C-alpha cells in the first residue's frame, strides 16, 4: 500500500489513476438547455483537470428524465444527443485526469413541485421535520418499474462509455434510490426486494452486474456507498462491509465511502439525527467518514475511497496512511481547483470556509451546497471563487435559479414525452 498522495493506482479493470486525489462528485446543477452539459460546465472541468486531480467524478447524471434531484440536473438516456457528453469527457481529460460519470436516480428525494415521478421502495416521504412537505410522497415501485430502472442505469453507463468517459460511479449513497432500497428505515417491502439485507441489496447488485456485463472490461465501474446512514436502525458499517464483499466478485473497481441522506445530512458536514451516537470528534474534524472507513479498510476486498471534509494536505495524507486508496475532495476543490498541484509542490494551502450557522439542519445543508454551487458557477465563467460569500445569500440565488430552471424543465419534459 502506497502512502504517497501522488503515486499511481492501478484498478482491477486495468485502468490506472495518475494519483490518489479525486475530485468527488458535487451536484453542480449547471445543465444547459435540454438538460445537457454546456460551455460553463466544460470550462469548470477543464479547470479541475488542469489543477492536478488524478480522477474527476462528475456530479449527478440522471438516468431517468422524469426523476431529477433538481430542475438543472443533467440527463443522459437513449434520447440524449451524445456529442455534448463527448465534449464534456474531452474537457475533463484535457489536463491528464481520468474521468468517471456518476449516474443516479433520486427515488423519493424529489421536490414536491417537480414534474415527473417520485419512486421508492415503499410509499413514504422524506422526513425532515417541518420541511418535509418540500418533498413528494413516494410511489412504491412495481416489478416493471424496478426492471425499467435497472435498464436505465445500464443504458446510461453504455452511453457514458461511448462518449469517452473512463468509467461510471453508481450512486448508492446519500438517500437516493439505491440507498433507499438498502435502508431498512425506508425499505419496508415484504417481497424479494425488502426484508433481509440480501434482498435490500438486490437492486444495487443487479444494477452493477448488468452494467459490468454491458461495458468493456477496461471500463471502470465504481459504487458510492454509505458507510452509515447516521440514523438509529438504519444502514450501518456492518451492512456496508457485507455489501462490499458482495460487490467484489461482480467486477467493481472501487467503493467510495460517504454517509447520510437528506434526513441526516452528514455528507455536507451537518449534524446527524438527534439520537446520533457518533463521537463529537468525528463530526468536528476533517475526513469525517474516515473513522468509519477505518472499520472497513482492513478486510475490504476492494480499493476504498473516502470523501468528506478534507481541506488540508496533512489530512489527505492521514487518509492515505490509514490504508484508504483514494482521497476525495469536494468543497476544497470548489474553492481552490489548483489544490492538488499546490500539494504536489509541498504547499499546505489550506482552504477555510466559515461554518453555516442555520439551526434547521435541512436548510443549513441546502445553504451549504448552494454556497459550493456559487463557487462552481464562478469557475465555469472563468472567475475567481468567493469563499466568503454568505451561504444564506447563495441559497436565495439558488432558489431564484431553480424557479426559472423549473419552468424550462417542465417544458422540456412535456415536449420530450
pLDDT at residue 66 greater than cutoff 60: yes
Confidence class for position 308, pLDDT limits 50, 70, 90? confident
pLDDT in tens, 149-158: 999 999 999 9
Q: What's this model's pTM, rounded to 2 decimal places? A: 0.92
Report the pLDDT value the prediction gives residue 90, as an integer from 0 to 100.
98
Report the pLDDT value the prediction gives residue 278, as an integer from 0 to 100.
37
Decide if 1 contacts 200 (C-beta within 8 A): no
Domain formed by 9-352, architecture = Alpha-Beta Barrel (3.20)
Dihedral sign for Cα atoms in the order 173, 200, 243, 289: positive
Nine cell digits for residue 359: 439551526
pLDDT in tens, 108-132: 999 999 999 999 999 988 877 777 8
Burial bucket for residue 248 (CB in 10 Å: 0-12, 13-18, 19+): middle
Report the pLDDT value the prediction gives residue 234, as an integer from 0 to 100.
64
pLDDT in tens, 185-238: 999 999 999 999 999 999 999 999 999 999 999 999 999 998 755 556 567 788
Q: Tell how strand 16-17 and strand 9-10 pair up.
A: antiparallel
pLDDT in tens, 374-411: 999 999 999 999 998 999 999 999 999 999 999 999 99
Helix (H) or strand (E) holding 85: helix 83-93
Q: Mean pLDDT lowest for which of 20-24, 73-77, 141-145, 368-372?
A: 368-372
pLDDT at residue 275 greater than cutoff 50: no
DSSP character for 411? H
Nearest partner of 326 among 103, 100, 43, judged by Cα: 100
Report the pLDDT value the prediction gives residue 301, as an integer from 0 to 100.
94
Report the pLDDT value the prediction gives residue 232, as an integer from 0 to 100.
61
Report the pLDDT value the prediction gives residue 287, as an integer from 0 to 100.
55
pLDDT in tens, 158-173: 999 999 999 999 999 9
pLDDT at residue 343 greater than cutoff 90: yes
Amino acid at each position: 500500500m502506497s502512502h504517497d498522495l501522488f503515486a499511481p493506482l492501478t484498478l482491477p479493470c486495468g485502468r490506472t489513476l495518475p494519483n490518489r486525489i479525486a475530485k468527488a462528485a458535487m451536484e453542480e446543477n449547471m445543465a444547459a438547455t435540454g438538460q445537457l452539459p454546456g460551455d460553463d460546465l466544460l470550462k469548470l472541468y477543464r479547470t479541475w483537470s488542469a489543477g492536478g486531480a488524478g480522477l474527476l467524478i462528475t456530479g449527478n447524471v440522471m438516468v431517468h428524465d422524469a426523476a431529477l434531484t433538481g430542475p438543472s440536473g443533467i440527463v443522459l438516456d437513449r434520447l440524449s444527443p451524445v456529442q455534448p457528453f463527448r465534449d464534456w469527457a474531452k474537457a475533463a481529460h484535457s489536463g491528464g485526469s481520468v474521468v468517471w460519470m456518476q449516474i443516479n436516480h433520486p427515488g423519493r428525494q424529489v421536490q414536491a413541485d417537480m414534474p415527473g415521478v417520485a419512486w421508492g421502495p415503499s410509499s413514504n416521504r422524506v422526513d425532515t421535520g417541518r420541511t418535509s412537505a418540500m418533498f413528494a410522497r413516494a410511489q412504491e415501485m412495481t416489478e416493471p418499474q424496478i426492471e425499467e430502472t435497472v435498464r436505465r442505469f445500464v443504458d446510461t453507463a453504455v452511453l457514458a462509455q461511448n462518449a469517452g468517459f473512463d468509467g461510471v460511479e453508481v450512486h448508492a449513497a446519500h438517500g437516493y434510490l439505491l440507498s433507499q432500497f438498502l435502508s431498512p428505515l425506508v425499505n419496508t417491502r415484504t417481497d424479494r426486494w425488502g426484508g433481509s439485507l440480501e434482498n435490500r441489496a438486490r437492486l444495487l447488485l443487479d444494477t452493477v452486474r448488468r452494467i459490468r456485463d454491458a461495458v468493456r472490461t477496461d471500463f471502470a465501474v465504481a459504487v458510492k456507498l454509505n458507510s452509515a446512514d447516521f440514523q438509529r436502525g438504519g444502514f450501518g458499517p456492518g451492512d456496508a462491509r457485507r455489501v462490499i464483499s458482495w460487490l467484489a466478485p461482480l467486477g467493481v473497481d472501487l467503493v467510495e465511502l460517504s454517509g447520510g441522506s437528506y434526513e441526516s445530512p452528514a455528507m455536507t458536514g451537518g449534524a446527524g439525527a438527534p439520537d446520533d451516537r457518533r463521537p463529537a470528534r468525528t463530526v468536528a474534524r476533517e475526513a469525517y467518514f474516515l473513522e468509519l472507513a477505518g472499520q472497513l479498510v482492513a478486510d475490504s476486498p476492494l480499493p476504498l475511497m473516502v470523501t468528506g471534509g478534507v481541506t488540508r494536505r496533512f489530512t489527505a495524507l492521514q487518509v492515505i496512511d490509514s490504508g484508504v486508496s483514494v482521497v476525495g475532495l469536494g468543497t476544497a476543490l470548489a474553492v481552490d481547483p489548483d489544490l492538488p498541484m499546490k500539494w504536489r509542490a509541498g504547499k499546505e494551502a489550506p482552504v477555510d470556509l466559515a461554518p453555516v450557522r442555520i439551526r434547521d439542519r435541512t436548510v443549513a445543508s441546502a445553504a451549504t451546497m448552494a454556497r459550493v454551487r456559487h463557487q462552481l458557477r464562478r469557475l465555469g465563467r472563468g472567475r475567481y471563487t468567493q469563499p466568503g460569500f454568505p451561504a444564506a445569500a447563495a441559497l436565495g440565488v439558488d432558489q431564484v435559479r431553480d424557479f426559472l430552471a423549473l419552468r424550462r424543465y417542465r417544458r422540456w419534459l412535456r415536449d420530450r414525452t
